[in-house]
Amino acid sequence: MKTARVAYAGGIHYATEENGCVRLTDGRVLGEDAIVWLPPVQPGTIFALGLNYADHARELAFKAPDEPLVFLKGPQSVCGHRGQTRRPRGVTYMHYECELAVVIGKTARGVTKSEAYDYVAGYTVANDYAIRDYLENYYRPNFRVKSRDFATPLGPWLVDAADVADPMNLRLRTLVNGRVTQEGNTRDMIFDIPALIAYLSEFMTLSPGDIILTGTPEGLANVMVGDEVIAEIDGIGSLKNTIIGEPEDPTHVG
């Protein structure tokens, strides 16, 4: 089952997919253009993985890490399907990162690898933009890179874990203005989903709604104002996003 959170007619609704449309819980069926897509879950703690694909580590000329390289993101960093992400003025390199997002479904502490999937509610698509100009180094992603407002589109759907037969064998791709620029497969993760859940829950409690962004494969490219970026994962969804510029007034947040 696929579920979404959407805004329509002044309210926030949960919805399911129906023949290319969305069905609200009150029975109304609407076209995808008639709603505002929200992140499919209200995020708790957002964990993000750096260098979790060996090909991506090589692409950046770094050795693959010996243990998960994890950092946190604020809840304000996410936006929904068909949302807009700002490219800061004056930066030279901003790129997408298509990632499988794992949503925790129940409280997890001291979870073993063998039982880790029991704690997964479902999966969605994330696009975790990075601005390389602001990166201190690849092992210490700073807040200006990874916790920017609306710089991590998420969605459109949350797909139930039971409906994903093998989350460690899903094809990922990114398209910029219709051209494929990134391709990979979740089987190439250095640390797979059970390993990540076991690692994190060993020293902290994971809660329902927490999200693990599992990293991105090689194939990064600079994106500019006006670009349409689509991050896709087979069986999970196609997440569309547009790059816009910053307003002249730096206090403007709309």
**pLDDT tens digits, residue range 144-182?**
778 899 999 999 999 999 999 999 999 999 999 999 999
- Which pLDDT value is given to residue 54? 77
**Residues 159 and 99 reside in one and the same domain:** yes
Per-residue pLDDT reduced to its tens digit, 134-146: 876 555 556 777 8
Amino acid sitting at position 118: D
CATH assignment at residue 75: 3.90.850.10
**Residues 181 and 117 reside in one and the same domain:** yes
**Count of other CB atoms within 10 angstroms of residue 251:** 5
| 39, 5 Cβ separation under 8 angstroms | yes
Task: Tell me the pTM.
Answer: 0.92
- CA 242 and chain centroid, separation: 15
Range of the domain at 53: 39-245
| 120, 161 Cβ separation under 8 angstroms | yes
**Residues 52 and 15 reside in one and the same domain:** no
Rounded Cα distance between 194 and 117, Å, is 7
| 205, 102 Cβ separation under 8 angstroms | no
Amino acid sitting at position 189: M
Number of folded domains in the chain?
Answer: 2
- What mean pLDDT comes out for the span 15-30? 94
Per-residue pLDDT reduced to its tens digit, 63-116: 667 899 898 999 999 999 999 999 999 999 999 999 999 999 999 999 999 999
**Residues 182 and 200 reside in one and the same domain:** yes
Q: Is 253 within the bounds of a domain?
A: no
**Residues 54 and 34 reside in one and the same domain:** no
**Residues 13 and 126 reside in one and the same domain:** no
